[in-house]
Structure 1
Amino acid sequence: MPRMVALPPSGEFQIVLSKPFTDDVHELMTPISALRGFPSHETKDIYGLDTKVDFNTMGIQWSNQDDDAAKAGGEAAGEQKDEFKRIVDSIEALARQFAKQDSAV
């Protein structure tokens, strides 16, 4: 039986998905690889999606909130914002798919 956990006082929440996506990851790796060289900013939402994305694989280590000044860039160009949104949408679609498959209800 799932255990009940109290909500944080602020009402905010964070979900961390730890289940491997083996086959689907291969489909995501091509667009994710395009993020290499995209700008990041430690405190500013330069992609305008209020979404944090971290990738840590053998092939790519990237975050749109990178705190490494050597990697951090300035502003994201329109094409980069579009690509970032497309990748975020793909990840969210996969998460929804797996959430439905694993639903206990």
Structure 2
Amino acid sequence: MQAGIPYARQYKDNAVTKTGLGFAAVSLVCGILSILFCFLLAPLSFILGILGIVFGVVSKTKTTEYRGLATGGIVCGTIGLLIVVFFMIIGVIIATEALRALFYAFAPL
């Protein structure tokens, strides 16, 4: 027990620190998985990217510790999200061009 600080307050501060670590770690894991899954499972990667960003921001607002983990989660989540959005835009462009070519191939002259 630290001198001059009640035991209940020490326990509460420790609980907030552990919560900050939990959010920061979940943020980093979600961000990394978002990057890894962006080529295979785009919807899952999109969700994981958003979760990585949200948990990172929550961790940064809850505690001043573990800011590096939270920042890493935010950065990885943002990168994964941007990659997925980029591939979604490319996919829409390719699908539009394929449908246009198919329409013109079977259009009556």
Q: Same fold (TM over 0.5)?
A: no
Normalised TM-score (structure 2)? 0.34
Normalised TM-score (structure 1)? 0.35
Say which structure is richer in helix: 2
